[in-house]
Structure 1
Amino acid sequence: MATTKTATLTIRVEPHLKEALRAAAQSEHRSVANMVEVMIREHCEKNNIAIETPTKSDQQREQ
């Protein structure tokens, strides 16, 4: 199974927002990083923002 490379995203948020994110992630048995990814995907879907997915040939070139 091919693995997809990931990118690092560093952000600053107020402590109470970080705690809310941690609580949301915990309630869904997710990591904070995965919770952020899910929230981004849901936001994009709700607002008709396309998320490009790499093709198989793109992934092979990265390897």
Structure 2
Amino acid sequence: MAASKTATLTFRIHPALKKALRLAANLEHRSIANMVEVLIRDYCEQRGIDIPSSSDAENSIGVRS
């Protein structure tokens, strides 16, 4: 099975928030990108927002592997 592709996300953030994110990532032994992903997944789980799997997302928009 091929690895799923990732999307690039670029955004601006207040320096104090970036510092807090870096600290949180270090405490969890994660990269900043992985920490952001974990935070988003946790937020969605707490609020009942479904995150489709990669194959589900590709199938729903008609993308072929």
Range into which the TM-score falls when normalised by the shorter chain? 0.7 to 0.9
The root-mean-square deviation of aligned C-alpha atoms, in Å, is 2.0
Structure 2: gaps spanning 5 or more residues: none
Q: Where in structure 1 do 4 or more consecutive aligned residues deviate above 2 Å?
A: none
TM-score (norm 1): 0.85
Q: What amino acid maps onto 1:54 in structure 2?
A: S
Task: Give distance in 2, aligned partners of 1:55 and 1:10.
Answer: 24
What is aligned with 1:48?
48
Alignment of structure 1 residues 1-63 onto 2, 5 Å: 1-55=1-55, 58=58, 61-62=64-65
Task: Give distance in 1, aligned partners of 2:24 and 2:38.
Answer: 11
CA deviations over 1:5-50 (Å, ceiling 9, x no partner): 0000001110000000000000000000000000000000001001
Counting aligned pairs with the same residue, the percent is 57
